Structure 1
Amino acid sequence: MYNRLRLKVSIEAIKWLTFQACALSGHDEGPDLSNQGNFLELIKLLASYNKTIDDVVLENAPQNEKYTLPDIQKEILCVLATYVRKAIREEIGTTKFCLIVNESQDESKKEQMAIVVRFVDRDGHVKERFLDLIQVKDKTSSTLKNEIMCSLSYHKLSVQDIRGQGYDGASNMRGEWNGLQALLLKECPYAYYINCFAHQLQLALVGASKDVTEVHNCFKTLNFIVNVITSSSKRRDQLQDAQIAEISHLIEVDEIESGKGKNQIRTLQRPGDTRWRSHFKSICSLMRLFGPSCVVLTNIATKGFYIFSKR
């Protein structure tokens, strides 16, 4: 009975944190800390409002039956993920579906492939469901195809039911002969490939802007300034010092207000070809940091610093 209650509290805490997209573990969960992370602090909160729970969790639980270790948390998450995938599979049923796939590196530089299915449910509504996240050893089309086939087989989805493929424009994805879309077309001739409209629009905007000399020169200069200032840790420190000096002066002359969360130290944003919005953010960042950026560039010009880092 007590074990069941302890486990139930851990499950409910994990479900709530996962639904709210909150991290479970803290940086340090030592017993002497005032903040041990979201998971343990939530259990403490539940215990503070319910004496029955308080009597059986954390310090009041046996040493080997707390159900709070990271391994237990991961196991509970895996069980919850299995139930979510099962619900998605039941929602798809026997209908046809489309695949939306993207691969990218995570923070640890490991290649991961996300698989999303798009289908029409029994009520005639178009649904998109995140089905799987798979770590892949490389980004070759054959590797991606094999992993997709394994995932579909695991979820008891037939490749013959695929009616569309949506990827970006990378050669390993859209290649006419050996790309992922071509390999899947050999398995199912009805799996028509459509390039990602978001990427198409972004690349079209970037391409169109390059045909306008003034716009092209503007972003070329912008990218050059960002590269010069952010390519060196020394210059980034100079940018930060210049910001601090500017903010201190503006506060002193009562042009800006001070307070918690205000006047944060920022950095320049680099524009990217696949995200047109990043160009706008890059311009805004330079406008906000125009004064400090001028200080850094002046130092480079007058004190003889190298524009580019030494190779």
Structure 2
Amino acid sequence: MLDTMVTEIKQSKYYSIILDCTPDVSHQEQMSVIIRTVKMDKAPEIKEHFMGFLVACETTGLGLSSLILNKLMELNIPFDDCRGQSYDNGANMKGRNKGVQARLLEKNPRALYVPCGAHSLNLVVADAAKASTDAISYFGNVQKLYSLFSAAPQRWAILREHVTVALKTWSDTRWESRINSIEAVRYQASNIREALLEVREKVTDPLTKVEAQSLAEEVGSYRFLICTVVWYDILHHVNHVSKLLQSPKMQLDVAVDLLTKAKTSLTNYRGTGFASAQASAKDMCEEMNVEAVLKQKRLRNTKKHFAYEAPEEPIADALKRLEATFFNVVVDTAIGSLKDRFETLGEVRDRFGVLLNFQKLDDQELCNQCDNLCGTLSSGDESDIDGKELAVEVKNLPRLPSDDMTALELLTFIHKKHLEELYPNLWVALRIACTLPVTVASAERSFSKLKLIKTYLRSSMGQDRLTGLAIISINHETGKQLSYEEIIADFANKKARKQTF
């Protein structure tokens, strides 16, 4: 089965590698190896092949880079044909001096590094959440809601009587997943508040009574509801883009366009979002029959003691303060982080930009960008394409079906018209562009299979067996080609105790 995938990878010639690591139930660091290619069959198709798990004894840049190079050598896959590499944002992977990407670039300058887009987008939300005290306290209160109801079956039953979408917890490392927990609060705040008040009346523990009362007051506060609406809107945009980026067939040019639109959407939201959040929060307050007023508690210092006072503050001033300290800080941080964290992704996309926007370039700019792409795909005296010939080819392309075609669509058009031999440089450049990965989501998905296969009851499973079962489970199409009857018969013959004389 593995030989079939290796043959397919060699036929595709150009490939990219995707790596990620996680500990298993035996406390061994398992590295998932994914190879991404463009398969040429009836139509060009982006494929990601799971090649197995490797035990990473050393998680340094040197140890991981040596491990993957040895694996490629064992599979007889030439590393010189690698054109891309994608990892998460760990220092041992993305380090510019001693990281895996830097060490592999020393051996093959054409193996372009593309940081994981989904992981970077997750860090954008994390940056925004940590930029404001109101944001930090907000997520703390949402977590308290879940903890209060989930601590006892009776409380959870009370919650289920009042809501249709239950509260959910979240992962500390996947910030965009918090939209699932906020959704219940966003559209069922009144019901959740009623459930809290019922818990307060029915429980006997005085601490739980106090906590339920406190959370009921918090859920009914204008400030909390504004924060809920704002965070739901932000996470809704981010989560939609994150889901699209995790597709195995996602292309670099499409990913950059999605991120550009997300940045534009957040920029527009910066101007109108707070006003719309206020209107939505007022409607939620009216539904709960509470007054939409912001009160700022201040600390009063006297000679004898410290005490809190809550002066009547004009709601307009309180709203301006909330907008300045929470809304503007969160949205501005998200926009700035989007720009900084996806700078590398944009640079790689710009190198291949001539393949998509050549119709908008003049002759001189077209030649310059073709030469730059030729330099990117060159190593020493070897080059995948000729820049001057590429410029001539794109000038003489036939009329295209659309002016806004993706790299895969243009590759499919050339393949369908049988123009590969007439446009060899463009053909190669497009194949390499489609090979470049955008995320390590496929490696993350393989970890789900790892946890299903290597459980506590199978903690002593050997590495070869683990890899074999994972390959069959993950690579469905290749697994269907196996004859399980022959495998079972072969296994039975090897284990048979009866000897033939």
TM range (shorter): 0.5 to 0.7
Q: Of 301, 305, 309, which aligns to 2:207?
A: 301
Say whether the 8 Å CA contact 2:84–2:113 is kept in structure 1.
Answer: yes
Greater RCO (Cα-Cα under 8 Å, separation 6 or more): 2
Q: Of 124, 148, 156, which aligns to 1:243?
A: 156
Gaps of 5+ in 1: 1-82, 257-262, 306-311
How far apart, CA to CA, are the structure 1 residues paired with 2:136 and 2:170? 15
Structure 1 residue 282: Cα displacement: 2.8
Structure 1 residue 271: Cα displacement: 4.0
1:14-93 equivalences under 5 Å are: 83=1, 85-93=2-10
CA 1:160–1:102: 2 relative to 1, 3 Å: same
CA 1:191–1:198: 2 relative to 1, 3 Å: same
CA 1:122–1:303: 2 relative to 1, 3 Å: closer
How far apart, CA to CA, are the structure 2 residues paired with 1:198 and 1:210? 19
Give 1:110's aligned residue: 28
The secondary structure found in structure 1 opposite 2:127 is helix
CA 1:137–1:303: 2 relative to 1, 3 Å: farther
How far apart, CA to CA, are the structure 2 residues paired with 1:171 and 1:300? 47
Give 2:106's aligned residue: 186
Which amino acid counterpart does residue 7 of structure 2 have in structure 1? E
Structure 1 residue 139: Cα displacement: 2.2
Say whether the 8 Å CA contact 2:10–2:77 is kept in structure 1.
Answer: no
Say whether the 8 Å CA contact 1:103–1:111 is kept in structure 2.
Answer: yes
Which amino acid counterpart does residue 280 of structure 1 have in structure 2? I
How far apart, CA to CA, are the structure 1 residues paired with 2:134 and 2:203? 22
How far apart, CA to CA, are the structure 2 residues paired with 1:138 and 1:171? 14
1:1-311 equivalences under 5 Å are: 83=1, 85-94=2-11, 95-123=13-41, 124-211=44-131, 214-223=134-143, 229=147, 238-244=151-157, 246=158, 250=161, 268-277=168-177, 279-284=178-183, 291=195, 299=205, 301=207
How far apart, CA to CA, are the structure 2 residues paired with 1:209 and 1:91? 44
How far apart, CA to CA, are the structure 2 residues paired with 1:169 and 1:153? 26
Say whether the 8 Å CA contact 1:209–1:216 is kept in structure 2.
Answer: yes
How many residues align? The count is 201
The secondary structure found in structure 2 opposite 1:195 is coil
CA 1:148–1:303: 2 relative to 1, 3 Å: same
Say whether the 8 Å CA contact 1:117–1:131 is kept in structure 2.
Answer: yes
Structure whose CA Rg is larger: 2
Say whether the 8 Å CA contact 1:173–1:179 is kept in structure 2.
Answer: yes
Say whether the 8 Å CA contact 1:271–1:282 is kept in structure 2.
Answer: no
Report the TM-score when normalising by structure 1: 0.53
Structure 1 residue 163: Cα displacement: 0.8
Say whether the 8 Å CA contact 1:239–1:292 is kept in structure 2.
Answer: no
How far apart, CA to CA, are the structure 2 residues paired with 1:280 and 1:183? 38
Which amino acid counterpart does residue 100 of structure 1 have in structure 2? I
Deviations 1:271-304 (A, max 9, x none): 4343412x02233577798747966999473689
Cα RMSD over matched residues? 3.8
The secondary structure found in structure 1 opposite 2:35 is strand
How far apart, CA to CA, are the structure 2 residues paired with 1:106 and 1:153? 25
CA 1:218–1:91: 2 relative to 1, 3 Å: same
Report the TM-score when normalising by structure 2: 0.35
Deviations 1:205-250 (A, max 9, x none): 3323444665444224324555xx38xxxx96x4224224x389x5
Structure 1 residue 108: Cα displacement: 3.8
Say whether the 8 Å CA contact 1:115–1:132 is kept in structure 2.
Answer: yes
Which amino acid counterpart does residue 86 of structure 1 have in structure 2? D
Structure 1 residue 142: Cα displacement: 2.0
CA 1:119–1:247: 2 relative to 1, 3 Å: closer
CA 1:205–1:303: 2 relative to 1, 3 Å: closer
Which amino acid counterpart does residue 142 of structure 1 have in structure 2? L
The secondary structure found in structure 2 opposite 1:168 is coil
How far apart, CA to CA, are the structure 2 residues paired with 1:184 and 1:131? 19
Structure 1 residue 89: Cα displacement: 0.9
How far apart, CA to CA, are the structure 2 residues paired with 1:282 and 1:191? 40
Structure 1 residue 106: Cα displacement: 2.5
The secondary structure found in structure 2 opposite 1:143 is helix
The secondary structure found in structure 2 opposite 1:178 is coil
Which amino acid counterpart does residue 179 of structure 2 have in structure 1? F
Say whether the 8 Å CA contact 2:85–2:112 is kept in structure 1.
Answer: yes
Which amino acid counterpart does residue 301 of structure 1 have in structure 2? L
Say whether the 8 Å CA contact 1:98–1:118 is kept in structure 2.
Answer: yes
How far apart, CA to CA, are the structure 1 residues paired with 2:51 and 2:111? 18
Structure 1 residue 159: Cα displacement: 1.5
The secondary structure found in structure 2 opposite 1:176 is coil
Say whether the 8 Å CA contact 2:30–2:56 is kept in structure 1.
Answer: yes
Deviations 1:11-50 (A, max 9, x none): xxxxxxxxxxxxxxxxxxxxxxxxxxxxxxxxxxxxxxxx
How far apart, CA to CA, are the structure 1 residues paired with 2:129 and 2:203? 26
How far apart, CA to CA, are the structure 2 residues paired with 1:271 and 1:283? 13
How far apart, CA to CA, are the structure 2 residues paired with 1:182 and 1:126? 26
CA 1:275–1:106: 2 relative to 1, 3 Å: farther
CA 1:206–1:108: 2 relative to 1, 3 Å: same
